[in-house]
Amino acid sequence: MTTNATNRPTGVRKALARIGRIRLRDRLFLASALISTTILLLAAWVINNQVVRQARQQVQSEVEGLLPVYNSVWEENARSLATLGMTMANSPNVKIIFGDARAARDRQTIREMIADFGGDLAARVDLVLITDGAGRITFEDLRGREETAVSQLAAARDVAESQRQQQCFAILGGRLFQLSLTPVLLQSGSDEYQNTLAVLGVGLELNRAVAQEMSRRIHCDVVFLAADRIYASSLDPAAEAGLAQLVASPEISRAEAARPVEVRTGDHLNLTFSRQLEGTGGQRVGQVVVLRSLADAGRLFRTISNVLLLLWTLSIAAAFALSYLIARRITRPMEELVKGTRELGSGNYDFEIRAEARGELGELAGAFDQMRRSLRQTQAELLKRERLATIGRMAGSIIHDLRNPLATISTAAEMLARDNLPSERRRTLLESQLRASQRMHEMLRELLDFTHGNYSLSPERQALRQIIERAVQEVSTLAARTGVLVEVNVASDLMVKADAGQLRRVFENLLTNAIQAMPGGGTVRVQAARQHSEVRIDVIDSGPGVAAEIRERLFEPFVSHGKLGGTGLGLAIAQSITEAHGGTLRLEATTAGADFYLTLPLDEGGPHADPDTAG
């Protein structure tokens, strides 16, 4: 359980770390590609939901607006047929013919009668039929086609009985017609009663031409259904074949509701409404279906989708190009800056950044260069100040140490000028003057030696212990007075090639330093240990140790405060002398007391000098 709990975050962290390692350019590219993809998907969604729906709604309202036009087309047809029928039925010539029973049965007579109505009639109707009062068809003219197999028309009998013109749809001989049935009436003697001589029917076949004409006027496709098949439509034959399933579709019955419905035909959606084609008794004869394709909306969506896809491709390309350019503009100067920072870190203050960056990076590069220049200047100033400080310390030290002998000399001179001094005192004064001037001379020589670095070494094979013991002897008075115990633990067989006087001075300086550091008394230990071809000598005191702030600069001239030889050069001189002997002088890092240690090369070849005879 615990491992599971810890494993997952590790995996996540690893994944995050991997993302973190992706280069800036790729990160920029991924981010902008993600953003543009999201935006475009969102746009596609919005367009599909808003624009396409709006387009669909627009089509729907258009279709709804078509209903009156649709109705008026039918009414117009019906009116035209009715007028035609009425004109014929009311024509005296017609009445005469139908009044004469023999003439009414003579097809030739009737054909001539129809011909009298001229080309107008021929152009406007597809069917002319005549029935007797019982609805038996006595004549029909199907404009050159075969006759219908129907001999009886129930609707005609209704018209004959009601003596009123009627409009209806009918299938005659498998053909679908819009019919106008008009009774031909003959006024009998009395005013109230009229005889129905015949029923005159004019009809318009609901064929492809009608469908196309209607389609042209209502800007929709029109399909006539009859006897459970497509009778005619304004569609091209291929599309019509695709509509086959429409006949049985349950949506078609719903499409008779007030609002249009969506019907899928083949591969696209249509907005559909339909109306029944009724016979005189209100019975269903057929159906007219009006289809408005939603392909436009679909096409709009596809067009927009294509545009969006193009935009997406472009934006991805732009994102790639942009992130490459940005990355180049950012990372190039960055790399330069990193290089500059490294150079600066390693102490090169002269490395100029060659970044031609503009904007923030340019400012950064400029600021960096400014910083570099000011650092260089500061560094130079620091060095100068350091030199000045050294000079200042040196001057202070020299002034301090020369004032004592100078004051001595001048006071002594003043006293010597007096007459009443005893000769013994006179001598003391003169001796003091001499000592003071000798001291000044000595100090100046030391200073000069140090600045020139010449120590006039005359190295000889020496026993180390002997040199150290002499140095201890030199400081014994000061040590005794201060209460400091000096312990020496150096083997007598350690031989070095050294200038005894100078090396003794090194130990004198170190010992004096140690003693002065312990005004309340303590211990100084001097111990030596062989290390390969070298000897390491430690001078360890039990004093307060070296203050941290001067630890690093301890061996610089005039830093250590004291009166070593009077010049503040004690440790600096000791180090110079040690180095002149091919050794080193360092301060060991300790927590208590101070541990100065020096290493010197051992002189192991040649005859051994007897330390006892030298001591």
Partner 1 sequence: MPIRILLVDDDEAFRSVTAIALESEGCLVQEAADGYAALEALQREHPDVIVCDLDMPGLDGRELCHRVRSNHKLADVRFILLSALVEPDGTGIPPNIEADCCLSKQTHFTQLVTQIESLARR
Task: Select the span of 48-56, 291-299, 398-406, 523-531 touching partner 1 (CB under 8 A).
Answer: 398-406
Task: Select the span of 73-81, 284-292, 382-390, 417-425 touching partner 1 (CB under 8 A).
Answer: 417-425
- Give how many residues touch partner 1 by CB under 8 A: 34
Using the rule CB under 8 A, which residue among 18, 21, 452, 481 binds partner 1?
481
Nearer to partner 1, 302 or 425 (CB): 425
**Closest separation in Å from C-beta 467 to partner 1:** 22
When asked if residue 11 is in the footprint of partner 1 (CB under 8 A), the reply is: no
Using the rule CB under 8 A, which residue among 97, 130, 171, 412 binds partner 1?
412
Nearer to partner 1, 235 or 515 (CB): 515
Nearer to partner 1, 130 or 564 (CB): 564
**Closest separation in Å from C-beta 436 to partner 1:** 5
Local structure of 129: helix, strand or coil: strand
When asked if residue 400 is in the footprint of partner 1 (CB under 8 A), the reply is: yes
Nearer to partner 1, 138 or 411 (CB): 411
Strands 229-233, 221-226: parallel, antiparallel or unpaired by DSSP? antiparallel
When asked if residue 545 is in the footprint of partner 1 (CB under 8 A), the reply is: no
Nearer to partner 1, 341 or 428 (CB): 428
Using the rule CB under 8 A, which residue among 229, 425, 441, 608 binds partner 1?
425
> In b/e form, how buried is each residue of 161-200, taking b as 16+ CB within 10 angstroms?
eeeebbbbbbbbeebbbbbbbbbbbeeeeeeeeeebbbbb
Q: Please report, to the nearest 10 degrees, the dihedral formed by the alpha carbons of residues 108, 114, 115, 116 taken in order.
A: 110
Q: What is the spatial distance between Cα 576 and Cα 450, in angstroms, rounded to a whole number?
A: 8
The secondary structure of residue 520, as a DSSP letter, is T
Nearer to partner 1, 247 or 406 (CB): 406
When asked if residue 553 is in the footprint of partner 1 (CB under 8 A), the reply is: no
Q: What is the spatial distance between Cα 501 and Cα 514, in angstroms, rounded to a whole number?
A: 20
Nearer to partner 1, 68 or 519 (CB): 519
Q: What is the spatial distance between Cα 406 and Cα 389, in angstroms, rounded to a whole number?
A: 25
Task: Select the span of 364-372, 502-510, 512-520, 607-615 touching partner 1 (CB under 8 A).
Answer: 512-520
Task: Select the span of 91-99, 177-185, 261-269, 515-523 touching partner 1 (CB under 8 A).
Answer: 515-523
Using the rule CB under 8 A, which residue among 366, 396, 544, 615 binds partner 1?
396
**Closest separation in Å from C-beta 413 to partner 1:** 9
Q: What is the spatial distance between Cα 160 and Cα 475, in angstroms, rounded to a whole number?
A: 162
**Closest separation in Å from C-beta 410 to partner 1:** 8
Local structure of 71: helix, strand or coil: helix
Task: Select the span of 237-245, 266-274, 347-355, 431-439 touching partner 1 (CB under 8 A).
Answer: 431-439
The secondary structure of residue 165, as a DSSP letter, is -
When asked if residue 563 is in the footprint of partner 1 (CB under 8 A), the reply is: yes
Local structure of 75: helix, strand or coil: helix
Task: Select the span of 129-137, 278-286, 369-377, 477-485 touching partner 1 (CB under 8 A).
Answer: 477-485
**Closest separation in Å from C-beta 539 to partner 1:** 17
Helix (H) or strand (E) holding 480, with range, is helix 476-482
Using the rule CB under 8 A, which residue among 302, 342, 435, 445 binds partner 1?
435
Using the rule CB under 8 A, which residue among 401, 469, 508, 556 binds partner 1?
401
When asked if residue 478 is in the footprint of partner 1 (CB under 8 A), the reply is: yes
Contact, 518 vs 559, CB < 8 A? Answer: no
When asked if residue 544 is in the footprint of partner 1 (CB under 8 A), the reply is: no
Task: Select the span of 306-314, 396-404, 451-459, 460-468 touching partner 1 (CB under 8 A).
Answer: 396-404
The secondary structure of residue 51, as a DSSP letter, is I
Q: What is the spatial distance between Cα 585 and Cα 305, in angstroms, rounded to a whole number?
A: 84
When asked if residue 77 is in the footprint of partner 1 (CB under 8 A), the reply is: no
Nearer to partner 1, 76 or 414 (CB): 414
Using the rule CB under 8 A, which residue among 219, 384, 403, 441 binds partner 1?
403
In this structure, which amino acid lies at residue 128?
V
Contact, 560 vs 521, CB < 8 A? Answer: no
Task: Select the span of 39-47, 227-235, 399-407, 551-559 touching partner 1 (CB under 8 A).
Answer: 399-407
When asked if residue 389 is in the footprint of partner 1 (CB under 8 A), the reply is: no
Please give, one letter per residue, the 3-state secondary structure of 365-409. HHHHHHHHHHHHHHHHHHHHHHHHHHHHHHHHHHHHHHHHHHHHH
Using the rule CB under 8 A, which residue among 37, 428, 523, 599 binds partner 1?
428
Using the rule CB under 8 A, which residue among 223, 291, 515, 602 binds partner 1?
515
Using the rule CB under 8 A, which residue among 183, 279, 286, 405 binds partner 1?
405
Q: What is the spatial distance between Cα 474 and Cα 467, in angstroms, rounded to a whole number?
A: 11
Task: Select the span of 56-64, 98-106, 351-359, 406-414 touching partner 1 (CB under 8 A).
Answer: 406-414
Q: Which two tokens stand for residue 65?
A: 């607006």
Q: What is the spatial distance between Cα 369 and Cα 354, in angstroms, rounded to a whole number?
A: 10
CA 111 to chain centre: 88
Helix, strand, coil share (%) of the chain residues, nearest 5: 55, 20, 25
Q: What is the spatial distance between Cα 535 and Cα 492, in angstroms, rounded to a whole number?
A: 12
When asked if residue 172 is in the footprint of partner 1 (CB under 8 A), the reply is: no
Q: Which two tokens stand for residue 302?
A: 């596809």
When asked if residue 404 is in the footprint of partner 1 (CB under 8 A), the reply is: yes
Any idea which residue has 């070593």 for tokens? 564
Contact, 202 vs 179, CB < 8 A? Answer: yes
Nearer to partner 1, 196 or 408 (CB): 408
When asked if residue 421 is in the footprint of partner 1 (CB under 8 A), the reply is: yes
Nearer to partner 1, 307 or 399 (CB): 399
When asked if residue 436 is in the footprint of partner 1 (CB under 8 A), the reply is: yes
Nearer to partner 1, 501 or 562 (CB): 562
Q: What is the spatial distance between Cα 183 and Cα 208, in angstroms, rounded to a whole number?
A: 29
Backbone angles phi, psi at 43, to 5 degrees: -60, -40
Contact, 281 vs 157, CB < 8 A? Answer: no
Q: What is the spatial distance between Cα 364 and Cα 255, in angstroms, rounded to a whole number?
A: 73
Q: Which two tokens stand for residue 494?
A: 């350690």
**Closest separation in Å from C-beta 520 to partner 1:** 9
Local structure of 543: helix, strand or coil: coil
Any idea which residue has 């003169």 for tokens? 430
Q: What is the spatial distance between Cα 290 and Cα 215, in angstroms, rounded to a whole number?
A: 9
Which residues are near partner 1 by CB under 8 A?
A: 396, 399-401, 403-408, 411-412, 414-415, 418, 421, 425, 428-429, 431-433, 435-436, 439, 478, 481-482, 512, 515-516, 519, 562-563
